[in-house]
Structure 1
Amino acid sequence: MPTPRFLTLDDVAEILNVSWSQAYALVRRKELIAIQIGGRGQWRVENEELERFIAQKYAEARAGTVPAEPAAEEQAEQDDASTSPGGRRRG
């Protein structure tokens, strides 16, 4: 049986190992191109588009252009600010 041309957002979420909401957010931000078929919530992603998206994310990772997560950056800054040179936390 040939591979289907289009994937549902459930399929995309499973392939990327993310939630449906995260897959939908990628579509809403136009990071992942999808088409809407029929009624509300009937999004389809072409296999080639998903592969392009994955390749783009790998290219960004290789180039070091993936932005750091804001929460991780803030925590690191807080840790740096609250640790004295001797390695002890200031109260």
Structure 2
Amino acid sequence: MPSQQRFLSIPDVAEVLNVSVRQVRSLLSSGELRGIQIGGRGVWRIEDAELERYIARQYQRTAEQVSDDAPTRAPSRE
């Protein structure tokens, strides 16, 4: 039996990301975070691999923003 679940609920994802359930729902609605709806009630489930890809994209996005915001240094004249 696997020690880690393949699919996570919205509250599970909120806990991992340390954000609110509302924020996770917003990420799903916008398509930033991919998930599936299952069952007659359309319960959301997010695959752990999709969550990891989302996190990796956010790291990349943050790195790009930081490098864009970094002051440009003039070449040294030494």
Kindly provide the CA deviation profile for residues 21-57 of structure 1, in whole angstroms up to 9, marking residues without a partner as x: 1000000000000000113351000000000000000
> Which residues of 2 match residues 48-67 of structure 1 at below 5 A?
48-64=49-65
- Whose Rg is larger? 1
Please give the TM-score of this superposition, normalised by the length of structure 2.
0.78
Unaligned runs of 5+ in 1: 66-91
Seq. identity, %? 52
Give the root-mean-square deviation of aligned CA atoms. 1.4
Runs of 4 or more, structure 1, over 3 Å off, are: none
Render the CA deviation track for 1:42-84: whole Å, top value 9, x for unaligned: 100000000000000000000118xxxxxxxxxxxxxxxxxxx
TM-score by length of 1: 0.67
The question of 1:25 aligning with 2:37 is answered no
